[in-house]
Structures are given as C-alpha cells and as structure tokens.
Structure 1
Amino acid sequence: MGLNIEGGCLCGAVRYRATAPPVSRSICHCRSCRRASGAPSVAWSTFHVNSIVFLSGMPVRYRSSTHVVRTFCGNCGTQLSYRHDDDVGSIDITTATLDAPEEFPPTKEIWIEHKLPWERTNEAMRHYPRTSTS
C-alpha cells in the first residue's frame, strides 16, 4: 500500500487522494448502503478524515439518514463516501472507486443481519450482525 492512494468517480470529474493507508476495510450489507449503491453490498475502506484530499471536483453531499452524510459525483452519480456524525474523525471511501481496489481487500463483513439471502458471505472474513464496533 503506497502513501499516495488515489481514486475517483466513473466520469473522472471527482478525484481524491489518501495520504495514509486505511484504518479498516469492510463489506457492508445494510439496507441503506444497498439502496445508495444499487448493489447487494458495498466494500468500504475507512480512512482518517484528514488523510483524504480532493484533487479535482467536489462531490455532492446527501444526508441519507439523521446521522449519515454520503457523497457522490454530481455528474455521473458514483457513490464516493460515507460519514457518520458520531465518528467525525473518519471517512469511508467506496473501495471500488480506488484506482487499485485490489490492494485493499476487505477483512470483515458488517450488517450481516441485513444481508440478502442469495448473497454469499466470505467465510475467511470476520462477520458482525451490525457494526463491528457495537
């Protein structure tokens, strides 16, 4: 994992850089992540918020629930980040938007209680009914 980890949206309008490696990596099965992404689950890489810098473009913010702000590209719609008001020091970046997502494999699956019955879990990972901190 390099010190300059970069990524961006589908159309390239929004680009970002992480200056430190992620502090955790997960796959989320919660209903709101599924609805926001249109996918059965979402891989997230969690970074210290001060290590993420936007290089070009600014994502659009959307408060998806009382305590959560998600961002996406206003041009192509790519979901980019997730922030919870209770954890102001971190930001989750959608792993698939990283230029080299294969370098950041998830280590855990969260919100298993919301997992779609036809999606398989990876038995090599740790599993949590909800968040890994609750």
Structure 2
Amino acid sequence: MTETVITGGCLCGAVRYELNGPPIDMGTCHCRHCQRWSGSAFHSAVAFALTDLSFTKNEPLRYRSSSIMERSFCPSCGSPLAFRYLVSIEDPPTANPETVWISVGSLDEPEIRSPDWHFGVEGQLSWVNFDDGLPRTRCDESVGLSKAYASQEDNQADN
C-alpha cells in the first residue's frame, strides 16, 4: 500500500515541500498572533508528524514568534508556510515539538480535510461567522497554553 504524497509551497514558488504521512489534526485559530502572522482574519492549519515534512525546494525562514512557538515563511514572498510548538501544551495533544502545523492555504490541494476545532476565539472578528458546531476555545481557557507560558516565564526568571 502506498501513501499519497501531499505537496505545497509558497505563492512565488521559491519554497516547496512534501508531506509523507497522513494529516493528524486540523484547526482554525482566531488569536491576534495568527491574524498578524497570516495577514488574515484567521489562520487554518493542518497537523502532520514533523518527520513527515521535507522541503524539496529551498528552506523557509524561521521566526520565533513567542517563547513557545516558531513560525516558517518564504524568504522571497513572505507566504506563511508552517508553525510548530517548541514545548508541549497538551490541548490539543498535537500541540507539541514533534508536530508541524502546515498553513492550509499553502497546500496544493487545500481540501485535505475539515477543521476539528476553533481556537483563540476571543480574537474572532465580529464579521467572521462559523456556524459549523465545532468546539470553540479561548486562549485563556487552555490550561496547557497557560502552563507553557508560565513555565517559560519561570525558566527566564531562573536565568
């Protein structure tokens, strides 16, 4: 049995990637970090095992956007391509360093699956309306996210 290779890349074509494994989670985030990074009202991303990702044409630039997250984008056109957590935040369980979250808009075939949840809904813009019945969580309701930020602050205070 052969697995389907999932491909994608940036707007200008300078960065291309392949994913050699199944998607394991998908969500839409409405937090201000994701809005600013994506330049949009929200950001949808699909999770894969980090080991399933390989860049086939150039590497993206990586930016540590917070103490717990690294984001990747094209150095030529700026397209947001992926992000990953640098620590485990537990909820969702796929938010950990072994998982990479690929920007759905960068996939060659973005209809890969449907989202499983909404996150950061305190930042959802008033004119964005999803009547999809999916679970909705605020950033401050995420125990794992709060613990991760607190742990990072404790580590910084110790240094």
Q: What TM-score do you get using the length of structure 2 for normalisation?
A: 0.78
Deviations 1:83-131 (A, max 9, x none): 1111211011101110000122212111112211221123332222238
1:17 and 2:18 are equivalent in the alignment: yes
Q: Which residue is 2:115 aligned to?
A: 106
- SS of corresponding position for 2:51: helix
**Residues in 2 aligned to 1:16 and 1:101: alpha-carbon distance in whole angstroms:** 14
Alpha-carbon RMSD = 1.6
The structure carrying a bigger strand percent of its residues is 1
1:51 and 2:52 are equivalent in the alignment: yes
Unaligned regions of 5+ residues in structure 2, if any? 88-95, 145-159
Q: 1:111 to 1:42 in 2, by over 3 A?
A: same
Counterpart amino acid of residue 83 in structure 1: R
**Residues in 2 aligned to 1:79 and 1:125: alpha-carbon distance in whole angstroms:** 25
Q: Is the 8 A contact 1:95 1:104 kept in 2?
A: no
Q: CA deviation at 1:133?
A: 7.5
Counterpart amino acid of residue 12 in structure 1: G
Q: Which residue is 2:61 aligned to?
A: 60
**Residues in 1 aligned to 2:6 and 2:38: alpha-carbon distance in whole angstroms:** 22
Q: Which residue is 1:37 aligned to?
A: 38
**Residues in 2 aligned to 1:16 and 1:26: alpha-carbon distance in whole angstroms:** 20
Q: 1:73 to 1:108 in 2, by over 3 A?
A: same
Q: Is the 8 A contact 1:110 1:132 kept in 2?
A: no
Unaligned regions of 5+ residues in structure 1, if any? none
Structure with bigger gyration radius:
2
Q: Which residue is 1:93 aligned to?
A: 102
Out of 133, 138, 145, the residue aligned to residue 129 of structure 1 is: 138
- SS of corresponding position for 1:63: strand
**Residues in 2 aligned to 1:71 and 1:82: alpha-carbon distance in whole angstroms:** 6
Q: What TM-score do you get using the length of structure 1 for normalisation?
A: 0.91
- SS of corresponding position for 1:103: coil
Deviations 1:6-41 (A, max 9, x none): 000001111111111111011110110000111000
Q: Which residue is 2:125 aligned to?
A: 116
Q: Which residue is 2:73 aligned to?
A: 72
Q: Which residue is 2:28 aligned to?
A: 27
**Which 4+ residue blocks in structure 1 deviate beyond 4 angstroms?**
131-134
**Residue correspondences, number:** 133
Q: Is the 8 A contact 1:7 1:17 kept in 2?
A: yes
